Structure 1
Amino acid sequence: MRRVRYDSPGGPLFLEEAPVPEPAPGQLLVRCAAIGVTLPVVRKVTEAPEPVPLGGEIAGEVVAVGAGVTRFRPGERVTGLCFGHGYADYACLHEAMASPVPEHASAVDAVALVRSGLVALGALTAARPAPDEAALVTAAASGVGQLAVRLARLRGAGRVVGAVSDPAKADFVRSLGADEVVVYGDENWGEPVDYVLDGVGGDLLGPSVAAPAPGERLVAYGSGGGTVRAYDLLVGAKTVTGFQMARIAREEPETYERWRRELWRLFDEGALRPAVHREFTLAQAGRAHEVIEARGNRGKVVLLP
């Protein structure tokens, strides 16, 4: 089979031939039909001290199962987060991380909707939104951010603001349902909001903490790190909540499954359709990473084996 790898930090991605893996106990062997490219994986290529397997969101058909697997059988379609080599024709997926894909949905639909949607829905739930509140979503054109904008509106937000890195993304973010679009670096992000969903972190944490009105809140779910000054919270009586999807999947499987069903319900009703920026082949994985690194995507970036 074909697999994407790299030899040194930041080094070019290339295809290699590798044996089809054997599923370990509790794992599914999946023939990948679509692979979602995520910012955390892109960052690992440039930041990890040693080369790591390129994992991520995969969707495809189960072709074999390891010992102890009870929920899935060969021939069924699944999607989930792969922690090993996911940029490949075949990948192993832990049963606990796998979700079924409905017959009417494509593999691209699955990788664009499920994992990104779970993060967006989870972060939004952590914000405890009330009807008619104002929301601000950073990285609003990203795979997660675009769904967070849509979900905030579906959950009854009265005003939705999208924050982006480039004003060229403004029309796209407005098409998702945002009322206003602000650009990182702008001195004025408009009227204060009731809650912020921040998927960027780093230097953007300061403006993100400043955006909520006094007494309101921010949910941080990105992998960009950053520091929040205690004084900024104290003077505005604000709160910051960290959200991590892996913890929900590991410790609250019922919540994970309930959110997954809600996402597919909204998809079936036509209320939530993820945007796909572009589809690349496996051989073009390096180009797909360049799009993410340049913050050029408007929606999900997908690899098609």
Structure 2
Amino acid sequence: MKAIQLSRFGGPEMLEVVDLPAPVPQAGEVLIRVHAAGINFFEALMRADRYAVTPQLPMIPGVEAAGVVEAVGQGVDVGLLGRRVAAPLFMSQRPHSGYAEQVTMSADLVVPLPDALPFEAATALMVQGLTALHLLRQSPPDDKAVLVPAASGGVGTLLVQLARLKGARQMIAAAGGKAKLDFALSLGADAAVDYTKPDWPARVRDLTGGEGANIIYDTVGGALTAALLEALASGGELVFAALGRFGLAASDLERLIGRNQSLRGFALLPLLSADVLRASLSELFQMAASGLLQVTIGGRFPLDRAGEAHRLLEERRSTGKVVLIP
């Protein structure tokens, strides 16, 4: 089978196409023919050895895939053969391997897909969909003025919609450039601010009657986090969900304390048991299949152009989800 292998850390050109033996499902596992594999920004950081965790090389990147069950291992229901399924590889014992034509994983962790849900959309609803859903469960937006940075990205597009569905009083999207702002508005945001402009936190305060956002979901991190505090209302909550990109200084934290603001950390994996994973993905899949939730695919690339897909993400030129089509 063809796969993308990372043997050395570096730029997108380090992602090489290789031929490998097809994996064989072990007892309790299924073999899946991949029809779409999701790409996440943290994988670009991992490729460059700039992520919080350094992976062991060589490796096949990719923590989420969707496809059709081709074979089953010992003890697995043969009724799964031919089923369309999601493979949340990040929950498996081999969390990387999605950038490939075939993958194996525990049959207990695959989640059936509704017939109306495309494989590509399923990839967008795994890491990014689960992140959006559980951010809102951990810090509910009910009757609050909400700010979503990177609102045209994979997590952001889903957060804008889900926060609105879950009762946000005011939904403000932040993104860079008119096209991305217009796109966020089309998803249901009440207002959109360009956070490439120096006065954008003041714009957020103006939109909220001088107060600022009651809750901000920060999935970007880095230098942006300090600016987000300027857009946060007194007594507001900033939920930090950008593992490895925390950039607040002691002075920022002192200012946060002085305004009775709170900083809450968010990490997805500790929240997901197998049962919670299956239930959460099933909820997201049904919402998307019914049209209640719009999934945006911002780029489709064949395996041999995985480097281009990474470059698109790193240069912030994409909207929604970027996928590989083996």
Confirm or deny a common fold (TM above 0.5): yes
In the aligned structure 1, how far is the partner of 2:199 from the partner of 2:231?
A: 11
Matched, 1:108 2:108: no
Matched-pair contact (CA < 8 Å) for 1:200–1:223? no
- Secondary structure in structure 2 of the residue aligned to 1:202: coil
Matched-pair contact (CA < 8 Å) for 2:238–2:264? yes
Where does residue 236 of structure 1 map in the other structure?
Answer: 259
> How far 1:247 moved relative to its partner?
1.3
Matched, 1:222 2:242: yes
Which of 132, 141, 146 is residue 135 of structure 1 equivalent to? 146
In the aligned structure 2, how far is the partner of 1:215 from the partner of 1:94?
A: 44
In the aligned structure 2, how far is the partner of 1:241 from the partner of 1:71?
A: 44
Where does residue 101 of structure 2 map in the other structure?
Answer: 89
Matched-pair contact (CA < 8 Å) for 2:177–2:194? yes
Question: Aligned partner of 2:32: which letter?
Answer: V
> How far 1:296 moved relative to its partner?
0.7
Which of 223, 232, 253 is residue 212 of structure 1 equivalent to? 232
In the aligned structure 1, how far is the partner of 2:18 from the partner of 2:126?
A: 29
Which of 269, 274, 285 is residue 295 of structure 2 equivalent to? 274
Matched-pair contact (CA < 8 Å) for 2:300–2:325? yes
Distance 1:242 1:70, change over 3 A: farther
Question: Aligned partner of 1:298: which letter?
Answer: T
Matched-pair contact (CA < 8 Å) for 1:35–1:303? yes
Matched, 1:160 2:167: no
Which of 136, 161, 167 is residue 150 of structure 1 equivalent to? 161
- Identify which range, 48-57 or 26-35, moves more after superposition: 48-57
Which of 163, 168, 186 is residue 175 of structure 1 equivalent to? 186
> How far 1:146 moved relative to its partner?
0.5
Where does residue 44 of structure 2 map in the other structure?
Answer: 42
Question: Aligned partner of 2:194: which letter?
Answer: V
- Identity across the alignment (%): 33
In the aligned structure 2, how far is the partner of 1:27 from the partner of 1:225?
A: 35
Matched, 1:31 2:43: no
Where does residue 138 of structure 2 map in the other structure?
Answer: 126
- Identify which range, 93-102 or 206-215, moves more after superposition: 93-102
Where does residue 53 of structure 1 map in the other structure?
Answer: 60
Matched-pair contact (CA < 8 Å) for 2:7–2:59? no
Which of 212, 219, 223 is residue 199 of structure 1 equivalent to? 219
Matched-pair contact (CA < 8 Å) for 1:84–1:92? no
> How far 1:69 moved relative to its partner?
4.8
Distance 1:128 1:89, change over 3 A: same
- Secondary structure in structure 2 of the residue aligned to 1:105: coil
In the aligned structure 1, how far is the partner of 2:265 from the partner of 2:109?
A: 21
TM-score, with normalisation over the residues of structure 2? Answer: 0.85
RMSD over aligned CA atoms reads 2.2
TM-score, with normalisation over the residues of structure 1? Answer: 0.90
> How far 1:139 moved relative to its partner?
1.6
Distance 1:106 1:269, change over 3 A: closer
In the aligned structure 1, how far is the partner of 2:41 from the partner of 2:10?
A: 14
In the aligned structure 2, how far is the partner of 1:39 from the partner of 1:206?
A: 21
> How far 1:240 moved relative to its partner?
1.8
Question: Aligned partner of 2:17: which letter?
Answer: L
Matched, 1:77 2:84: yes
Moved >4 Å (runs of 4+): 48-51, 67-72
Matched, 1:10 2:10: yes
> How far 1:123 moved relative to its partner?
0.7
- Secondary structure in structure 2 of the residue aligned to 1:216: strand
Q: Paired residues, what number? A: 302
In the aligned structure 2, how far is the partner of 1:291 from the partner of 1:37?
A: 11
Matched-pair contact (CA < 8 Å) for 1:97–1:249? no
> How far 1:246 moved relative to its partner?
1.3
- Identify which range, 104-113 or 144-153, moves more after superposition: 104-113
- Identify which range, 150-159 or 6-15, moves more after superposition: 6-15
In the aligned structure 2, how far is the partner of 1:202 from the partner of 1:15?
A: 32
